[in-house]
Amino acid sequence: MDLHAHLAAFCSVAEHGSLTRSAAALGVATSALSRQLAALEHEAQARLFHRTGRGVVLTDLGRRVLPRAKSLLAEADALMAELRGEYASPSGTVDIGVVPAVRPLVAQLCARLQKEYPRIRLRAHEGFSGQVEEWVTAGRLDFGLFNRYGRGSVRGADALLRSPMVVVGRKGLPVLKAKEVSFRQLADVPMAIPIRPNALLAAIEAAAQRYKLEMKFVFESGSEAIIMDSIANAGLCTVVPQHVAVRDYGAARFSWATLVEPRMTQVTWMAQTNARPVTPASRIVAQLARELAPALASAETGQSRLGR
């Protein structure tokens, strides 16, 4: 049995959810792909897919072994790349996860890769911090950039950016007339927040519990754009890092004030997954992210402090 080919067929069908679409992507006949899957299932003595009228779906066993199959394929590809001397000109696909606050980093990564490493393909997945951390743990990403708000470090991760948190709202709101706003002043302010799980929301709720305050969370969304619309049109406030306020919330429509008592600082961390091998391509993209993050933040505001 050609294990590499059979695992590649398994992963491709799992990604496309259809033998026909997968066969077209791989450039093979559907019948040949079906035989490869049948041989793999015969060797495993178990079903990896349920066949349906609309395609195929993974069985419980298929879902469990898919991350390991992807990891084995990536490791085999990395070994062959090394044997072929491709470290001088690495290739491959790198999956990264980013929080909205560092979204512009992706464009800069693309530009550097096109110029210096054109054989590396980048796939970016946007989500809030809790989602990105889950994706890293599950092996859906090579590495992810996510936020934390405590003073402790994150094991195995690099701190790329630190930025103070500010309260943002529509211009003219009384709570934002001063340059600083205390946490207690937010108790009666209607707030828009990201959907759970979210590191910022967890930090705000922990502070509210410590100060024995009841926050007025009236709106939740998984979209940064929708939250921004609610701030502009519904008279709500939200909490964002200062560099995001400078970049996204223009002075013509919005005001912001530094959150104090207690002050909160957002730290953006970069962590690589343990469920995938570190390939030459993923190593290069991670290094470029380390190089580009400080320049990105300093371009948005000179008041953000970078590094550890």
pLDDT (mean) for 143-148: 93
Residue 90 has pLDDT above 70, yes or no: yes
Residues 245 and 179 in one domain: yes
Q: Among the three residues 35, 53, 83, which one is the final residue of a domain in this structure?
A: 83
| Tens-place pLDDT, residues 278-298 | 888 999 999 999 999 877 655
Judge whether 129 and 99 are in contact, CB under 8 Å: yes
- With bands split at pLDDT 50, 70 and 90, how would you rate the model's confidence at 153? confident
Asked whether the predicted pLDDT for residue 246 surpasses 70, the reply is: yes
Q: Which of 58, 83, 108 is the C-terminal boundary of a domain?
A: 83
214 and 184 in one domain? Answer: yes
Those residues whose C-beta lies under 8 Å from the C-beta of residue 168, and which sit 6 or more positions away, are: 176, 231, 237, 238, 239, 240, 245, 249, 254, 255, 256
Report pTM: 0.63
User: Which CATH number does the domain housing residue 69 bear?
Assistant: 1.10.10.10
Instruction: Assign residue 138 the CATH number of its domain.
Output: 3.40.190.10
**pLDDT above 90: residue 218:** yes
Averaged confidence pLDDT in the chain: 87
Query: pLDDT band at 143, cuts 50/70/90?
Result: very high
Q: How far apart, in whole angstroms, are the C-alpha atoms of residue 207 and residue 139? A: 32
- Domain identity same for 37 and 125: no
pLDDT score for 173: 92
68, two tokens: 């390991």
Verify that 128 and 275 share a domain, yes or no. yes
Question: Could you tell me if 252 and 177 lie in one domain?
Answer: yes
Q: Are residues 191 and 128 in the same domain?
A: no
Q: How many helices (H) and strands (E) does the chain have?
A: 10, 13
Task: Look at residue 307 in the predicted model and tell me its pLDDT.
Answer: 29
Q: Are residues 285 and 199 in the same domain?
A: no
Q: Say if residue 63 is in the same domain as residue 24.
A: yes
Question: Do residue 177 and residue 230 come from a single domain?
Answer: yes
Domain total of the chain: 3
Claim to verify: residue 70 and residue 137 sit in the same structural domain = no
Q: Are 109 and 182 found together in one domain?
A: no
| Structural domain boundaries, residue 282 | 92-157+269-306
Q: Which residue has the higher pLDDT, 97 or 3?
A: 97
Give the CATH number, domain containing residue 201: 3.40.190.290
**Is-contact 55 18, C-beta < 8 A?**
yes
- Which residue, 29, 59, 83, sits at the end of a domain? 83
